Amino acid sequence: MKRRSFLLGGGAVGITAATGAGFWRWQEIEPRLLDPGRAMGHRLRDLKPSEWPSPSAEYTTDVAIVGSGIAGLTAAWRLAREGHTRFALIAGPEPHGNAASGTVAIDGRSLRHPTGAHYLPLPSMESTHVRTMLADFGVLIDGIDSTTPSFDERVVVHAPDARLLRDGRWQGGLVPDDRAVVEATTGPRGKRAAIVDGSALDRCFHQVDGLRELRGADGRKVFAIPVVLSSADPDWTALDAMSFATWLTRERHDDPALRWYLDYCCRDDYGADAAQVSAWWGLHYFAARDGRAANADRGAVLTWPEGLDAIATRLEAAAFAPRPGRVPPRRLDGMALSIHDTTHGVDVVCARIDARGLSTYVVHARRAVSAMPLAVARHVVASLRNDGYDAASHASPVAPWLVANFAMKRFPDEAGDTPLAWDNVLYGSRGLGYVVSTHQEIRVAPSPSTVFTAYRALADRPPDDARRWMDRATPAEIGALASEELRAVYGWRFAPCVERVDVTLRGHAMATPAPGTLANAGLAALRACDGPVLYAHADLSGYSVFEEAAWWGWQAAGRLLG
């Protein structure tokens, strides 16, 4: 992947902006690359079943949940919540998956930071499963059934929540302010008054706002979260046949600032630009986000220093909390090699690697929940094709990401008088900006140290090409791309503040809803499957967000209980 540069304030600011002594000193701190599960996954993928070691242990349970991302944890939490604890959770290669986090010690402080997803939008009225979860964990503190519930003030994103660097200056919020001020002559004396032109962004957003409460012929909201609760009205689902970029051109939404912003939004939720995303999904990004709160502005989000690992940790703790009179659930390390039907139910063959090497074990269960990405399940679940999913024709594009954490022993100086925000984005950049881990801290004095987390979807080339680049790029090359925006903002001032750099490589981070996703028969078959193996993952919705992953975990548990 080529290093990119871009213009800010009319001057070239990019890779070449950080050529001072501080930059070269920072270059000596080689980024630590984290690639959870990749080495073990590829090793096991290339082993033939005849080469697997004989099982060294066997476990028997009622339900085997394979995967400990949000979907698997939600299934375990709901089962335990409703009194069913006879299950085993197989953690997989990375506990908590895309919601995982890390910890770094700086000057005696232990700072949490995300290595995956970092915020949760206010839940919609349809997201009853998320509202129930947040109420159980004390995050939603009042009004679970209200259109405007109250949330714990500590996790509602604090101000300033976002800023955008454009033309060399920061503006509040992430929507580019493209309203032109026009000088107009008025009155008999020729006095001049400033008139604000109508904004191209406002015209587009006004059109999209009209879709928020719109209902299809079946009475359902046209765009809803979870996505399966959206209207199936063909007048609206027809939008899934074209790209979002095509729809924007058709509707004459051609303003450059608008198109950059919409590409940024698509990369943020889908890992791809508007040209690769279905028009239905491009509109869904905005029209389905209608959660509100009594104590937060519209559009606010919930966030924690460690990102969504705060919720994942609570889910796991609640699922495995001791319950008198109940058989305790079992948590097993390792990852699944195969899931196949038997005469008694399902057998899950798993592998783990420790100091003694590779070993395997078997979990015998009545039923199993495949809470793995479909890119993994295709190699593991023997009945996947019989259940209606053929990876050759039904697999969605899967976007690769970089999540880079910069441990900062001090804050770099900010240019101008606009304070650092929680989310900081650069107009015109191909990256997704950076968030500040200590933003939610309530302190008398500013935090002396922090972690900046920079996100980048590798959407500049086809996903397979981007993954090949990740495989062959050096740590320095990956670090240069991951730090590009931070060096563009701070120049030489950035490097001396950096204590350590960790870059998490997520080669298969999220499914991209390309045109045709709503009509994907394979995903529909897995969503409806109620056999020995149930499926629970955000991939079933066609895109990767917390609410969708949790929904399928909730649904799988409901079928098991029902």
Task: Quote the CA–CA distance of 19 and 33 in Å, as a whole number.
Answer: 23
Residue 487 amino acid letter? R
Segment holding 341, helix H or strand E: strand 335-341
Looking at residue 551, what is its pLDDT? Answer: 98
d(CA 52, CA 223): 46
Closest CA to 15 of 497, 498, 482: 482
Of 221, 224, 225, the residue nearest 213 (C-alpha): 221
Residue 65: what are its φ and ψ, rounded to 5°?
A: -100, 120
Q: Output the 3-class SS for 70-98.
A: HHHHHHHHHHHHCCCCCEEEECECCCCHH
- Quick one: DSSP state of residue 19? -
CATH T-level assignment (fold) for domain 38-99+305-394+515-561: FAD/NAD(P)-binding domain (3.50.50)
| Paired strand residues for 8 | 11
Q: How far apart are CA 530 and CA 430, in angstroms?
A: 42
DSSP code of residue 293? B
Measured CA to CA, the distance from residue 385 to residue 403 in angstroms comes to 33
User: Residue 426: helix, strand or coil by DSSP?
Assistant: strand
Among 447, 470, 533, 544, smallest CA distance to 75 is for 533
Give 476-531 as a DSSP string: HHHHHHHTHHHHHHHGGGTGGGEEEEEEEEEEEEEE---TTGGG-HHHHHHHH--S
Which region holds residue 108: left if phi is over 0, alpha if psi is between -120 and 50, else beta? left
Query: Encoding tokens for residue 397?
Result: 């594009």
**Residues in contact with 281: Cβ distance below 8 Å, sequence separation at least 6, in sequence order:** 240, 244, 270, 513, 517, 542, 543
Q: What is the largest CA-CA distance in the chain?
A: 95
What is this structure's pTM?
Answer: 0.91
DSSP 278: B
Rounded to the nearest 10°, the torsion over CA 504, 508, 514, 519 is: -140
Q: State whether residue 254 is helix, strand or coil.
A: coil
Give pLDDT tens digits along the chain (562 positions). Answer: 322 222 222 233 333 334 444 454 555 678 999 998 777 777 766 777 777 888 999 999 999 999 999 999 999 999 999 999 999 999 998 999 999 999 999 888 899 999 999 999 999 999 999 999 999 999 999 999 999 999 999 999 999 999 999 988 999 999 887 654 334 333 333 333 333 345 788 888 888 888 998 999 999 999 999 999 999 999 999 999 999 999 999 999 999 999 999 999 999 999 999 999 999 999 999 899 889 999 999 889 999 999 999 999 999 999 999 999 888 999 999 999 999 999 999 999 999 887 788 889 999 999 999 999 999 999 999 999 999 999 999 999 999 999 999 999 999 999 878 899 999 999 999 999 999 999 998 876 778 999 999 999 999 999 999 999 999 999 999 999 999 999 999 998 899 999 999 999 999 999 999 999 999 999 999 999 999 999 999 999 999 999 999 999 999 999 999 8
CA–CA gap between residue 299 and residue 151 (Å, rounded): 14
Range(s) for CATH 3.50.50.60 in the chain? 38-99+305-394+515-561
- As a dihedral over the C-alpha atoms of residue 222, residue 246, residue 264, residue 6, rounded to 10 degrees, the angle is -170
Q: Where in the chain is the domain with CATH 1.10.405.10?
A: 162-185+192-292
Q: How far apart are the first and last CA of the chain?
A: 49
For Cα atoms 34, 35, 37, give the angle at the middle one, nearest 5 degrees.
130
Q: How far is CA 283 from the centre of its chain?
A: 18
97 phi-psi bin (left φ>0, alpha ψ -120 to 50, beta other): left
- Euclidean distance between CA atoms 513 and 278, whole angstroms: 6
Q: Which tokens hold the place of 422?
A: 């929680």
Q: Omega of the bond prior to 160 within 30 degrees of 0, cis? A: yes
Residue 243 pairs with which residues in a beta bridge? 278
Q: What pLDDT was estimated at residue 194? A: 37
Cα-atom radius of gyration of the chain, to the nearest Å?
Answer: 24
pLDDT value of position 78 = 98
Q: How many helices (H) and strands (E) does the chain have?
A: 17, 25
Rounded-to-integer distance, Cα 318 and Cα 320, Å: 6
Domain 162-185+192-292 in CATH: superfamily? Guanine Nucleotide Dissociation Inhibitor, domain 1 (1.10.405.10)
DSSP 199: P
